[in-house]
Amino acid sequence: MQFLIANWKSHKTIGDAVEWMNIFTSFSLSSLSPELKIVVCPTFPLLAPIVNIAQNHLIKLGSQDISQFSVGAHTGEVSGENLSGLVEYVIIGHSERRINNKESEESVRNKINQAKSFSIEPIVCINANTNTNYDTNIIVFEPVSSIGSGHVDSRQHVIDFKSSLKKQYQHFLYGGSVTVENAKNYLERRIVDGLLVGANSLDPLSFFSIAKQF
């Protein structure tokens, strides 16, 4: 199985999200690799408006975060219970959240536990500074130098990092300024099991063009 994950970050209105889904699902999705699982991760308010479109076209939904706390008096948090039934996946420990929101290793592990307790599959992001063991099947290597910078990590660097992992995960993905032009570089010889795409997931045609590289 391979994964192609769209991280919309804080982009798009409800109308934009519905339009993206309608355009993307108008493409020939049946022509894509049968091994490929497509996961779309919008902001929390956009999940419910697009869940039916996603389900009708075998697209999986994921959230960009999850609360480290269980349901309760946690103003502003979105718990696993809140997300249950809406998403099958959740991105945890993205570099932007580790840096901008000062997420600790403890909170990352708490979020993994919360997700798993509601049968939501964690997609855990790591880099050279967070090479540790996580209780998850899916890991994304996102070099901090590549996030939103346009800098492309060499294939050898990705191979070396994968070899350095203290634990072998079921699915090893790459995320770092992924484009249509460089996607194949990482997918050749199954160096990675998929891609986490940020900016180039915002346009449905660009995202579909990356999907065709699998």
In the residue annotation, 142 being an active-site residue is answered as yes
Q: Are 92 and 115 in contact (CB under 8 A)?
A: yes
Which listed residue (74, 142, 151, 157) is catalytic?
142
197 SS3 class = strand
In the residue annotation, 11 being an active-site residue is answered as no
The identity of residue 207, as a single letter, is F
Which listed residue (94, 96, 103, 171) is catalytic?
94
Output the furthest CA–CA distance in the chain (Å, rounded).
48
State in Å, rounded, how far the first CA of the chain is from the last one.
11
Virtual CA dihedral for 35, 43, 10, 32, nearest 10 degrees? 20
- Active site residues per annotation: 94, 142
